[in-house]
């Protein structure tokens, strides 16, 4: 067997006085495919940075075979030193690497290579960074959440691309199907210690449960021994003092061992505040259509969503999934057709941008709306710290500003706030972003047990298979078709997965053999006006501000006693909310129209 290319031994690292990693081991052999799993905040990304040589541990050794090359994909890459995405990707190529591979990878990831790095969104920067680490031929690839900001076609393309590579691979991802399809070994980072299983992620959960069950049995044995020793200390014979002192020391050692023996990390306890039952019909859409800039987003769609249905909406980025949700829930009107909402609907929405969180508010203020220190779940009052613990927040985080939370913590906070509101219709736009696997399990169970109706958008194939009863798929040109079952059932019926949009490919200049006629080339090319450019640049910030204002008004309306206490304030808040939602819908429509126009003109 070939010696490992990379080895970490007895690695330890402490942040702010708290041990993050205590005894970590990692060994990567040539061509090996391993996944690194663990809770959010367990130190997975830090361990990967240590493996990449970017972070120095407090203790332990790192060894890399001489001449071995390592490429690392960070969650937040820095492209500021390069003018364009192509320049950034080409900078990662070695002397013997194929220069055309840079353009190929950028195209596959939905980029042209001409984008200015200063203007990139977070998702575009991540895709460019992914192209840079894939372009050369390293010996080891270390990938931290490579599927973030990728749609389903791009995720499936990335899978096939990674399978074709000969290099060793270490993956961190919350996408179960992605890990199952690529991993051959599993490294579990739990409470600062790594455990290794020489099997893929598909076997991880059974293995993990077995390890935790064995730990629980050992704790139970230790507890019984402690009780027996303590009983002897209280009632035992006082003669033979030396022997008694030794036994007392043994008891103290047992207590210290029990104190240091860490219990398994707590689990998320999701309790959903359900409202009164809705009518049988939740949403009925009849021949609805919506277009932006001449491009159809939805065309001639008719669908009925009944109480208890779980509808998954899938499609490539830019297909209009969020627009479709807004049409079905009455946030924006269709250009044609009509949408009818059922009776007694109480809707709770989780948006993918998490923009409705106030970064200056504390965790406790976000959950209570700034009123007192309790939250009401399903008619029962609970202290905010106890509710925080249900979502894996420590009591000392009650006064932590939202702005300093990690992506996973912000997502859990959004879930905690959304689930505290009574509802019979849940609308979840990319709810799995930044969630660890255990939290995903609990979210899946909650959706399964929820008696209301669920509409969700997700790129997570396994999550769709476990939660939805039907899938609405974009077929292109505004056409949407519903398939019974989950994502795998849809693929079996359709014969293929979700197809990528081809806007960028169609927009590329044609070859000389397909050169346009002189008459066509002489036509003047329209450009965005100054006002259009200004709107395109400023609307995203405007939408974030509107979403933040909407969230604050919704927090006011979440007070169940507001109407009885102050009807005038309640009505004013309702009017303000309606106006803000209308402004947001108009801003989103305008931005999407300009974005589609920009894509056309840049083509």
**Binding residue per annotation — 319?**
yes
Phi, psi of 173 (to 5 degrees): -160, 150
Phi, psi of 428 (to 5 degrees): -120, 115
**Binding residue per annotation — 318?**
yes
For position 70, what pLDDT does the model report? 94
**Binding residue per annotation — 315?**
yes
Phi, psi of 312 (to 5 degrees): -100, 135
**Binding residue per annotation — 317?**
yes
**Binding residue per annotation — 200?**
no
Q: Are 102 and 90 in contact (CB under 8 A)?
A: yes
* 94 dihedral zone (left: phi>0; alpha: psi -120 to 50; beta): beta
* 277 dihedral zone (left: phi>0; alpha: psi -120 to 50; beta): beta
**Binding residue per annotation — 38?**
yes
**Binding residue per annotation — 44?**
yes
**Binding residue per annotation — 378?**
no
**Binding residue per annotation — 291?**
no
For position 240, what pLDDT does the model report? 44
| Residue ranges of the chain whose pLDDT lies below 50 | 237-243, 258-259, 261-265, 503-525
**Binding residue per annotation — 39?**
yes
CA angle 495, 156, 467 (to 5 degrees): 75
CA-closest candidate to residue 465, choices 270, 308, 314, 268: 314
For position 518, what pLDDT does the model report? 38
What is the C-alpha to C-alpha distance for residues 208 and 570, in angstroms, rounded to an integer? Answer: 50
Give Rg (Cα) of the chain.
27
Residues 6+ apart with CB under 8 A from 187: 26, 34, 35, 36, 37, 170, 194, 195, 196
What is the C-alpha to C-alpha distance for residues 421 and 371, in angstroms, rounded to an integer? Answer: 15
What is the C-alpha to C-alpha distance for residues 592 and 273, in angstroms, rounded to an integer? Answer: 34
**Binding residue per annotation — 40?**
yes
**Binding residue per annotation — 316?**
yes
**Binding residue per annotation — 389?**
no
For position 350, what pLDDT does the model report? 77
Beta bridge partners of 7: 27, 63
Residues 6+ apart with CB under 8 A from 191: 22, 42, 262, 264, 265
């Amino acid at each position: 067997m070939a010696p490992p290319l990379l080895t970490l031994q007895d690695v330890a690292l402490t942040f702010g006085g708290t041990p993050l990693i205590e005894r970590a081991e990692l060994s990567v052999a040539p061509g090996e495919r391993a996944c690194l799993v663990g809770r959010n905040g367990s130190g997975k990304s830090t361990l990967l940075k240590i493996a990449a040589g970017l972070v120095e541990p407090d203790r332990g050794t790192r060894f890399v075979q001489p001449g071995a090359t390592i490429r690392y994909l960070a969650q937040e890459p820095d492209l500021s030193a390069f003018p364009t995405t192509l320049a950034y990707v080409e900078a990662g190529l070695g002397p013997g690497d194929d220069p055309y591979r840079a353009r190929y990878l950028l195209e596959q990831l939905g980029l042209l290579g001409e984008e200015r790095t200063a203007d990139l969104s977070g998702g575009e920067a991540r895709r460019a960074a992914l192209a840079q680490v894939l372009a050369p031929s390293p010996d080891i690839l270390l990938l931290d959440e490579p599927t973030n900001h990728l749609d389903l076609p791009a995720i499936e393309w990335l899978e096939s691309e990674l399978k074709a590579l000969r290099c060793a691979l270490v993956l961190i991802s919350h996408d179960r199907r992605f890990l199952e399809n690529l991993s051959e070994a599993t490294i579990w980072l739990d409470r600062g210690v790594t455990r290794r299983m020489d099997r893929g992620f598909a076997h991880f959960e059974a293995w993990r449960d077995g390890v935790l069950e064995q730990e629980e049995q050992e704790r139970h044995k230790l507890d019984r021994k402690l009780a027996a020793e303590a009983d002897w200390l209280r009632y035992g014979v006082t003669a033979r003092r030396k022997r008694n002192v030794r036994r007392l020391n043994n008891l103290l050692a047992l207590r210290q061992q029990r104190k240091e023996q860490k219990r398994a990390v707590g689990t998320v306890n999701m309790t959903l505040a359900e409202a009164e039952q809705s009518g049988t019909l939740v949403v009925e859409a009849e021949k609805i259509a919506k277009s932006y800039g001449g491009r159809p987003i939805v065309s001639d769609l008719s669908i009925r969503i009944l109480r208890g249905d779980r509808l998954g909406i899938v499609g490539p980025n830019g297909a209009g999934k969020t627009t479709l949700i807004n049409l079905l829930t009455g946030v924006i009107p269709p250009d044609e057709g009509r949408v009818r909402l059922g009776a007694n609907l109480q809707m709770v929405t989780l948006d993918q941008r998490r923009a409705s969180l106030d970064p200056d508010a504390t965790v406790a203020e976000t959950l209570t709306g700034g009123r007192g220190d309790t939250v009401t779940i399903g008619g029962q009052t609970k202290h905010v710290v106890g509710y925080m613990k249900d979502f894996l927040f420590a009591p000392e985080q009650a006064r932590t500003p939202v702005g300093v939370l990690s992506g996973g913590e912000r997502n859990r906070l959004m879930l905690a706030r959304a689930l505290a509101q009574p509802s019979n219709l849940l609308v979840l736009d990319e709810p799995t972003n930044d969630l660890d696997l255990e939290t995903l399990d609990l979210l899946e169970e909650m959706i399964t047990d929820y008696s209301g109706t669920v509409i969700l958008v997700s790129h997570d194939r396994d999550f769709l298979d476990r939660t939805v009863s039907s899938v609405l798929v974009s077929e292109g040109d505004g056409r949407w078709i519903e398939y019974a079952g989950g994502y795998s059932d849809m693929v079996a019926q359709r014969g293929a997965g979700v197809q990528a949009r081809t806007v960028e490919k169609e927009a590329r200049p044609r070859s000389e053999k397909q050169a346009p006629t002189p008459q066509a080339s002489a036509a003047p090319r329209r450009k965005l006006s100054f006002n259009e450019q200004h709107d395109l640049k400023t609307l995203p910030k405007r939408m974030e501000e509107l979403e933040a204002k909407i969230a604050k008004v919704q927090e006011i309306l979440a007070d169940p006693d507001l109407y009885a206490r102050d009807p005038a304030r309640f009505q004013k808040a309702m009017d303000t909310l309606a106006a803000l939602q209308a402004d947001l819908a108009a801003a989103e429509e305008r931005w999407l129209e300009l974005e589609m126009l920009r894509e056309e003109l840049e083509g």
